[in-house]
């Protein structure tokens, strides 16, 4: 029935095209008009280091910059730092800042702002897991030179610095003067980015205007509105009718071919780093027992999850980081996850004396989570548990389940910002990351912690892969999560716009320009 509903939506949209909506692609674009871009969620705050770094980062990516960035091929390139040096042992990074870069309040970027920002990163619940194990010191040796010394070498350090999820340079003056009100209104948002916030309603929209003094040159697109569209099917219709000109999330599999063949939209494909998982509370409740977690692992039909979640447009994952595309440190193991065995799972539940026990599945209320929760509910029922599903709005789920650990079992996604095993494994499995940082299963194992710490700093490629192979063995034994899949990544945008395909996944409006 759900598939039929999707078909009916596409028929309605096709009818709209036949009545003239398709002609919009042939109109000459007004270069100063407001470009509306859909996004699943708008940030509740622009206080970078005090804000969840999921979809919120897309809002902030337009107004903040980092020391380095990535080009269309994924290579680290200069940004606020015009150059950087690394010592042979990989323990010291010296960043040479561009001179004359201005914040949106008119003050010049100085080394003190970078040092201040790293201090914020070290204290933040959302970014500290990446930097606390690494940073020995960070200091400005003059106004335009910053020296960061590491406790140990780390191959992913520049990846973290280049990613808007994990680092942005803030104005020390602006943050200090505003105090707790920083990032709460347009006049209290100060960045070096290509855009300035003109209007903003948390959870609804952000209106940007171009920063004509941007250090990399004026943006081609002058006026932009990010609009919250939580439902992906609604976003598809908005793309096709011209209500939005781009969508900063992947296109649902059921709509992919329709969008691709629309004639008025471009689609860019890429290997995503977004990992869908079942999380189980490893500290409290029945799933603190690893045998009960194993029972769930034996019951879940992951192929069905892939079909329901993304209509099969993705890759089953046997462990975090096991995806299409290159992931640094991945030993690339195959077929290591548990085979479905409902009878064995049922025996484990019975042996624990929990047959008939009621559990609650908590998850987001937006697609595809309710659909995935239904599959999980069926799996739990098949092994003798009674399962209820509680759908929650995004902020409530993040606060209650991910931050406070008030849940038994749930479904969510982990959107990695880098293509390195360290981020996802340390972020989602290290004891230091328990809670909102990313270890949402509240899992702790000293042996795992030790391995992850060593692997993060190992410079020998094969030795590093061997360490992650050992970590995977522990993961398969402890089962803190049930890996589901990596969806295929895509970005759709109007043919009135153009972008280097390799930059589309970064969701920076500055990378777009008007098509000729």
Q: Could you tell me if 244 and 137 lie in one domain?
A: no
Residue 192: inside a domain: yes
Residue 12: inside a domain: no
Q: Could you tell me if 149 and 227 lie in one domain?
A: no
Question: Which CATH number goes with the domain that contains 425?
Answer: 3.10.105.10
pTM: 0.85
Q: Could you tell me if 380 and 437 lie in one domain?
A: yes
- Among 115, 141, 174, the domain boundary falls at 174
Structure confidence at residue 53 (pLDDT): 64
Residue 8: inside a domain: no
Query: Cα dist. 390→40, 400, 411 in Å?
Result: 20, 12, 11
Query: Cα dist. 313→96, 411, 418 in Å?
Result: 43, 19, 22
Is pLDDT at 4 greater than 50 in this prediction?
A: no
- Among 125, 153, 174, the domain boundary falls at 174
Residue 55: inside a domain: no
Q: Could you tell me if 36 and 140 lie in one domain?
A: no
Question: Which CATH number goes with the domain that contains 198?
Answer: 3.40.190.10
Q: Could you tell me if 377 and 478 lie in one domain?
A: yes
* Residues 6+ positions from 160 with CB-CB distance below 8 Å: 130, 131, 166, 167, 417, 418, 423
Bridge partner list, 279: 410, 481
Structure confidence at residue 51 (pLDDT): 87
Note whether 315 and 409 are within 8 A (CB). no
Average pLDDT over residues 127-143: 95
Q: Could you tell me if 322 and 466 lie in one domain?
A: yes
Averaged confidence pLDDT in the chain? 93
* Residues 6+ positions from 464 with CB-CB distance below 8 Å: 155, 329, 455, 458
Class of residue 3 by CB neighbours under 10 A (exposed 0-12, middle 13-18, buried 19+): exposed
Question: Which CATH number goes with the domain that contains 94?
Answer: 3.90.76.10
| Domain that includes residue 170, residue range | 68-174
pLDDT category at 153 given cuts 50, 70, 90 is confident
More confident call, 211 vs 20: 211
- Among 156, 174, 192, the domain boundary falls at 174
Is pLDDT at 9 greater than 90 in this prediction?
A: no
Rounded CA separation 320/317 (Å): 7
Rounded CA separation 164/508 (Å): 10
Q: Could you tell me if 290 and 226 lie in one domain?
A: no
* Residues 6+ positions from 410 with CB-CB distance below 8 Å: 278, 279, 361, 362, 363, 397, 401, 440
Lowest average pLDDT, out of 4-13, 119-128, 149-158, 324-333, goes to 4-13
Is pLDDT at 315 greater than 70 in this prediction?
A: yes
Is pLDDT at 306 greater than 50 in this prediction?
A: yes
Average pLDDT over residues 474-501: 98
Q: Could you tell me if 465 and 493 lie in one domain?
A: no
Tell me the two tokens of residue 378. 């069926």
Q: Could you tell me if 98 and 239 lie in one domain?
A: no
Q: Could you tell me if 311 and 437 lie in one domain?
A: yes
Number of domains present in the structure of the chain: 3
Structure confidence at residue 32 (pLDDT): 85
Average pLDDT over residues 499-504: 96
Is pLDDT at 41 greater than 60 in this prediction?
A: yes
Note whether 65 and 191 are within 8 A (CB). yes
Q: Could you tell me if 256 and 117 lie in one domain?
A: no
Q: Could you tell me if 340 and 415 lie in one domain?
A: yes
DSSP string, 312-345: T-EEE-SSTT--SS--BT-----S-SPPP-HHHH
Tell me the two tokens of residue 221. 């697109």
pLDDT category at 18 given cuts 50, 70, 90 is very low
Is pLDDT at 113 greater than 70 in this prediction?
A: yes
Residue 10: inside a domain: no
């Amino acid at each position: 029935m759900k598939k039929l509903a999707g078909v009916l939506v596409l028929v309605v949209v096709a009818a709209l095209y036949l009545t003239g909506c398709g002609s919009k692609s042939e109109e000459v674009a007004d270069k100063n008009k407001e470009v509306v871009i859909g996004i699943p969620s708008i940030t509740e705050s622009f206080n970078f280091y005090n804000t969840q770094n999921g979809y919120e980062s897309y809002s902030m990516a337009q107004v903040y910059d980092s020391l380095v960035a990535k080009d269309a091929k994924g290579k680290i390139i200069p940004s606020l730092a015009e150059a950087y040096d690394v010592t042979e042992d990989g323990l010291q990074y010296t960043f040479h800042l561009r001179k004359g870069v201005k914040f949106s309040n008119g003050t010049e970027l100085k080394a003190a702002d970078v040092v201040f920002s790293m201090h914020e990163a070290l204290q933040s619940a959302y970014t500290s897991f990446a930097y606390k194990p690494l940073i020995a010191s960070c200091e400005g040796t003059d106004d335009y030179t910053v020296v960061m010394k590491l406790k140990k070498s780390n191959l992913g350090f520049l990846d973290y610095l280049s990613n808007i999820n994990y680092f942005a340079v803030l104005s020390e003056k602006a943050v200090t003067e505003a105090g707790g009100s920083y990032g709460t209104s347009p006049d209290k948002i100060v960045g070096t980015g290509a855009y300035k916030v003109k209007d903003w309603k948390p959870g609804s929209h952000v209106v940007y205007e171009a920063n004509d003094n941007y250090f990399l040159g004026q943006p081609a697109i002058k006026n932009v509105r990010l609009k919250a569209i939580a439902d992906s099917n609604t976003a598809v219709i908005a793309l096709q009718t011209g209500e939005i000109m781009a969508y900063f999330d992947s296109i649902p599999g059921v709509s992919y071919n329709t969008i691709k063949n629309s004639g008025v939209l471009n689609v860019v494909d890429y290997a995503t780093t977004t990992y869908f998982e079942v999380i189980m509370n490893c500290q409290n409740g029945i799933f603190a027992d690893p045998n009960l977690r194993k029972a769930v692992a034996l019951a879940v039909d992951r192929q069905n999850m892939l079909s329901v979640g993304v209509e099969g447009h993705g890759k089953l994952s046997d462990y975090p980081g096991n995806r299409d595309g290159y992931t640094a440190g991945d030993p690339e193991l195959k077929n290591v996850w548990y085979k479905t065995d409902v009878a064995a799972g049922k025996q484990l539940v019975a042996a624990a004396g929990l047959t008939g026990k009621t559990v609650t599945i908590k998850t987001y209320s937006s697609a595809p989570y309710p659909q995935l929760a239904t599959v999980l509910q069926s799996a739990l029922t098949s092994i003798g548990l009674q399962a209820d599903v509680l759908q929650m709005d995004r902020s409530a789920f993040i606060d209650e389940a991910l931050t406070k650990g008030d849940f038994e079992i749930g479904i969510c996604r982990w959107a990695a910002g880098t293509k390195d095993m360290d981020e996802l494994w340390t972020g989602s499995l290290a004891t230091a990351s328990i809670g909102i940082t990313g270890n949402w299963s509240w899992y702790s194992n000293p042996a795992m912690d030790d391995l992850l710490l060593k692997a993060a700093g190992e410079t020998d490629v094969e030795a590093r892969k061997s360490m992650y192979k050992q970590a995977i063995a522990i993961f398969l034994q402890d089962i803190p999560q049930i890996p589901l899949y990596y969806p295929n990544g895509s970005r759709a945008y109007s043919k009135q716009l153009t972008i280097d395909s390799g930059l589309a996944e970064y969701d920076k409006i500055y990378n777009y320009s008007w098509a000729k």
